[in-house]
Amino acid sequence: MGPEDLEKVLRLLPLGESREEVLVGLDTPDDAGVFLLDAELGLVQTVDFFTPIVDNPFRFGQIAAANALSDIYAMGGTPLTAMNIVCFPCSLGMDMLAEILQGGLEKIKQAGATLLGGHTVDDEEPKYGLAVTGRVDPGRILRSRGAIAGDLLVLTKPLGTGILSTALKGDFLTEAEMEPAIEGMAELNRDASRSALAAGAHACTDVTGFGLAGHLSNMLPERGLSCRIHAEQLPLYPKTRDMAAMGMLPAGAFKNRDFLMGWVALPCNLEDFYRDILFDPQTSGGLLIALSPDALDTFYNELDWSRRPEVIGEFFESEGRLIEVNYENG
C-alpha cells in the first residue's frame, strides 16, 4: 500500500488514549511498536509479509524473513521469537513451500531467534513473512525521529531492489545478474543495528516500501529540521542504472513520488535516474542512521564491514521539513 492510502486508513482508527506502557505506538512513524514490560525490558513487535520477488523459493524465504526481522533491528532491538505467516496455493506443491520456510528459518536462526509457530492460508498467490517479537533496552530505543542539525546520514545497503525486481519480472534481467541484490536483501541488518547502538546513533529506520525519500521523510519532524542528500554518493546495486534507463520502474515508485514530491527539492540539472532511485520502493533495504560526526569512527570500528556503509547526507536546521538533493554532476 502507498504511503498516502496508509495514512488515510490509520486516521480512521479510533485508537483513543494509549496506555503508558506503550513507548512506541501508532502516533509516530516508527518501524515497530515497543511495549514496556518492566524498567529494564521493552518488548518490540512487528509483522511483515509479501509476494515473491525472486523465483528461487529458498532465497525468497531468506529475503522475506530478513525484511521482517529488520524492523526489530531498526528499533535497536534483538529478535527473540518469530511466527510464520503464509499464504500458499496447494497447486504449487509442498516442496516449494518447504523451501520458502527453510530459507526463512535459516535467517531466524542467524538472528538468534526461535520459530514458535505460524499460520497458513490457501491463496492464489504465495505470500510469506514473519511476525517478530524482540527485546530492547527501554533507554536505548532507536526511534525514527531524533536526528539533530549537524548529524550525518548513513545508509548501510545499496539501493535499487524495486527497479531490479521489476526488470526480473519482465525478463530483462536474470536471477544470476541480480545476485548481488538478492545477497543484499537476504542480509540481516543485525550488524548495522549493533554499530548504530555502539555509536550512540540519534535516530534510525530501515528503507523499505516507501523508498529512500519516504523513509527519510519519517526521520524529519514536522518543522525545524531538513536533510541534504548527495545524489552521487548513493550506493547502488549493479545494473540498477541500466534497468532504470530502460524504464523498469515499479508502480510503487510513482505512488511514493506523488506523495512525497512536496517535501523533496530537486536541482533542475538532476539526472532523471536519481529521481527514480529516491522513490524506488526497497525490499529488505539497509538502515538509515543519523549520528554525530564524532561518532562515525566508532560506527565504522565496531565491525569489520565487508562493504563500508556510505555517508549519504547530513541534517541541517531549517524552517520547514525538506529533503534537499545535492548534485555536482561531475
Sequence-distant (≥ 6) Cβ neighbours of residue 28 within 8 angstroms: 143, 144, 145
Reading the block at residue 90, the C-alpha cell is 496447494
Return the residue nearest Co ion (CB atom). Answer: 31
The residues with which 228 forms a beta bridge, in sequence order, are 314, 324
Q: Among residues 48 and 151, whose Cβ is nearest to Co ion?
A: 48
In the complex with Co ion, the residue whose CB is nearer, 71 or 314, is 71
Least separation in angstroms between residue 93's CB and Co ion is 29
48 vs 314 by CB, closer to Co ion: 48
Maximal CA-CA distance, the chain: 57
Are the CB atoms for 116 and 79 separated by under 8 Å? Answer: no
* Residue ranges in 37-96 that form contacts with Co ion under rule CB under 5 A: 48, 71
Residues in contact with Co ion, shown as a per-residue x/- string from 251 to 280 under the rule CB under 5 A: ------------------------------
Rounded to the nearest whole angstrom, what is the least distance from the CB of residue 215 to Co ion in the complex? Answer: 7
Report which of 213, 175, 209, 166 is spatially closest to residue 312, judged by C-alpha positions. 213
Window contacting Co ion (CB under 5 A); options: 17-25, 31-39, 284-292, 314-322:
31-39
Looking at the Cβ atoms of 31 and 187, the one nearer to Co ion is: 31
Per DSSP, the three-state class of 204 is: strand
Give the C-alpha separation, 207 to 309, whole Å. Answer: 14
In the complex, what is the shortest distance from the CB of residue 110 to Co ion, in angstroms, rounded to a whole number?
19
The 3-class secondary structure across 79-140, one letter per residue, is EEEEEEEEEECHHHCHHHHHHHHHHHHHHHHHCCCEEEEEEEEECCCCEEEEEEEEEECHHH
d(CA 134, CA 113): 9
Question: At its nearest, how many Å lie between Co ion and the CB of residue 25?
Answer: 15
Nearest approach, Cβ of 262 to Co ion (angstroms)?
A: 22
Looking at the chain, list the stretches that DSSP marks H as alpha helix, in order from N- to C-terminal side: 3-11, 57-74, 94-110, 161-169, 179-186, 190-198, 211-219, 240-245, 251-260, 272-279, 296-301
Shortest Cβ 275–Co ion spacing (Å): 23
Q: Pick from 23, 24, 30, 31: which binds Co ion (CB under 5 A)?
A: 31
Please say which residue, 84 or 248, places its beta carbon nearer to Co ion. Answer: 84
Interface size with Co ion, residues (CB under 5 A): 4
On whether the CB atoms of residues 196 and 142 are closer than 8 A, the answer is: yes
Contact 38, 139 (CB under 8 A): no
Nearer CB in complex with Co ion: 167/205 = 205
Pattern of binders to Co ion over 176-215, x per CB under 5 A? ------------------------------x---------
**Nearer of residues 206 and 314 to Co ion, judged by Cβ:** 206
CB of 67 to Co ion, least distance (A): 8
Taking the complex as a whole, how short is the minimal distance between the CB of residue 208 and Co ion, in angstroms?
5
Closest CB to Co ion among residues 71, 280: 71
Strand partners, 154: 289, 311
We find the least distance from the C-beta atom of residue 183 to Co ion, in angstroms, to be: 20
7 SS3 class: helix
**Does residue 30 belong to the site contacting Co ion (CB under 5 A)?**
no
Considering the complex, state which of residue 244 and residue 256 has its C-beta at the smaller distance from Co ion. Answer: 256
| CA dihedral of 261, 263, 267, 273, whole degrees rounded to 10 | -50
Q: Residues in the site for Co ion, rule: CB under 5 A?
A: 31, 48, 71, 206
